[in-house]
Amino acid sequence: MNKIVFIVGMTGSGKSIASDELVKNGFGFVRFGQIVLDKIKEDGLEVSEKNEKKIREGLRKEHGMAAFATSNIPKFDELLEKGNVVGDGLYSWSEYKVLKEKYGDSMTVIAIYAPPETRYERLVNRSVENDEKQRFRSTTKEESKARDYAEIENVEKGGPIAMADYTIINTGTIEELKQKVKEILSMI
């Protein structure tokens, strides 16, 4: 059976870079948060942290804390028929439990960790040029800290990070992060 890898971590930790490394190694790709950006565009709203938070929390309030997992399962299943898959941005404990029940031993979770001040600096300085899919958005330190608190308190984000099969400490260069991802890939 093909493997499904979920990347977890706080905003600015390096999840997208880790996911991109798996894609370079032949993994299909699903971004959990794409649902939010699609809804923002559908509603004709500006992409901003305020609007993203409103949509994120609204979808979970309406459909439950596992909303992003259940909405993406058809995409995961379709890609799994063709090969291995990486899911970028598993957030909630409820999502983790739904996905673990569905995918069992074929599921691996990789947590990417970086200290808050490191992440905030990255987010403030993040280049958003040539990012048509809006995967890399710049935020202020205050916005980043507020998002951290909201995701920990309202979105159960700590559970999947705590239950990860592997944890990468990402305090070095992008190349060092990519190398650590390759090392884990060789083990799974």
Q: What is the pLDDT of residue 182?
A: 96
Domain range annotation of the chain: 4-187
Answer yes or no: CATH 1.10.1510.10 is held by domain 4-187: no
Q: What are 116-140's pLDDT values in tens digits?
A: 999 999 988 866 544 454 455 667 8
Cα–Cα distances (Å) from 129 to 76, 125, 136, in that order, read: 29, 12, 9
What is the spatial distance between Cα 172 and Cα 35, in angstroms, rounded to a whole number?
Answer: 31
pTM of the model: 0.86
